Amino acid sequence: MGVSARRVAALGECMIELSRRPDGLISMGFGGDTLNTAVYMARLGAPVDYVTALGDDPNSDAMVASWQGEGVGTGHVLRVPGRVPGLYMIETDDRGERRFLYWRDSAPARELFVLPDSPALIEALEGYDLLYLSGISLGIWGERGRAALFPLLDRLRERGGRVAFDTNWRPRLWPDKETAMRAYDDMLRRTDIALPGVTDLRDLYGDADAATVLERVRAAGVPEIVLKLEEPGCIVAGDGPDLEVPSERVATVVDTTAAGDSFSAGYLTARLEGRSPAEAARSAHRIAAVVIQHRGAIIPRDAMAEFLKPQS
């Protein structure tokens, strides 16, 4: 059975992305884990809105315009006068592995749930059928933001909405591991579709291997789990037997920046279309394989032409 959602919202932060090109020059774009997923979902034909907070500067204007150009809904993007979005720089090695440098401490997205317009936003989010967020989202919002988020998720699920969560663990966003583990535990108990990474939860909890990670997420009561393995592939776990879904190896990996984000987009979109979890995982692998062969978090549209759906 598919997710069967009519309205989808991705919540989190988009930043200015600086990337060093092979010639040494710096190119500028926009990126952030849940934003990347939202863009790829829109390209795949899913009805998705992006929910965040931005400033009132030209870069914030350009972000909103670019999302609208991708078919992502922007009706719940809060704007904060006098503020600017965060910024990050990507540097990649000769194997395509990336290193990030961040400037985001005063970004308005961190205050998404504690701004003057936040109560109206929270009320609007309760009407969605699927909310998608990540461990990065949890980290940037802090204790005050999570105190508003978790009751929102409870109310949404009580009326039949669903929650998808990608574990994306970034230690620098948290004061300590104990705080992070409590937040992740609370989040997983409110999750309907979990997209954990073995590396994420091994590093956070000290889990020994994929089986331990899978059991941890299952014990939290998550009914649908897609465990992303360290080697190419994933394990789909739900009502039936666990199923490992391998991914074909990519000969030339250029940039792994949005590999997991695009995988999440492919998986969730396929589930929205009614495909089985295993079919959704195979589709997600194919999309991620294309994305990692190009530089930047959001690759050119024509690079994934075989997957594109017409914008409504």
Q: Is the pLDDT of residue 12 over 80?
A: yes
pLDDT surpasses 90 at 231: no
Is the per-residue pLDDT at 213 higher than 50? yes
Q: pLDDT band for position 310 (50/70/90)? A: low
- The predicted pLDDT at position 312 comes to 53
Residues of the chain above pLDDT 70, percent: 95
The whole-number pLDDT of residue 311 equals 61
Burial (CB count within 10 angstroms: exposed 0-12, middle 13-18, buried 19+), residue 239 = exposed
Long-range contacts, stretch 226-233, CB < 8 angstroms, 24+ apart: 226/193, 226/194, 226/195, 226/196, 226/267, 226/277, 226/280, 226/281, 226/284, 227/196, 227/197, 227/198, 228/195, 228/196, 228/197, 228/198, 228/260, 228/263, 229/198, 230/198, 230/199, 232/285, 233/285
Segments forming the whole domain that contains residue 120: 8-300
Q: Among 15-29, 127-141, 161-175, which stretch is predicted with the lowest mean pLDDT?
A: 15-29
Residue 197 pairs in a beta bridge with 228
Is the model's pLDDT at 76 over the cut of 50?
yes
Q: Taking residues 6-32, what's their average pLDDT?
A: 87
Domain count, the chain: 1
Domain presence at residue 307 = no
Any domain includes 312: no
Predicted pLDDT at 18: 87
Per mean pLDDT, which of 10-19, 212-221, 292-301 is the most reliable?
A: 212-221
Q: What mean pLDDT comes out for the span 107-113?
A: 97
State residue 109 phi and psi, 5-degree precision. -60, -25
Q: Is residue 2 part of a domain?
A: no
CA angle 306, 9, 200 (to 5 degrees): 80
User: What's the pLDDT at 2?
Assistant: 46
More confident residue, 60 or 101: 60
Q: Catalytic amino acids?
A: 261
Q: Looking at 93-107, 129-143, 274-288, which range is the least confident one?
A: 93-107
**In a domain? residue 178:** yes
Judged by average pLDDT, the poorest of 79-88, 135-144, 216-225, 296-305 is: 296-305
Q: Is 305 a member of any domain? A: no
Name the percent of the chain lying above pLDDT 90. 74
CB-CB contact of 274 with 257 (8 Å): no
51: tokens are 């929910």
Q: What is the CATH number of the domain that holds 219?
A: 3.40.1190.20
pLDDT at 176 over 70: yes
Examine the pLDDT at 69 and tell me if it is beyond 50. Answer: yes
- Residue 25, pLDDT > 90, answer no
Structural domain includes residue 156: yes
Strand pairing report for 87-92 and 98-103: antiparallel
pLDDT at 130: 97
- Res 283: pLDDT: 95
Looking at per-residue confidence, does 59 or 93 come out higher? 59
- Is the residue at 158 inside a domain? yes
Q: Residue 11 corresponds to which tokens in the numbers above?
A: 């919540």
Q: How do residues 142-168 score in pLDDT, each as one tens digit?
A: 999 999 999 999 999 999 999 999 999
- Within a domain: residue 311? no
Does residue 4 carry a pLDDT above 50? no
15-24, 37-46, 142-151, 266-275: the lowest-pLDDT one: 15-24
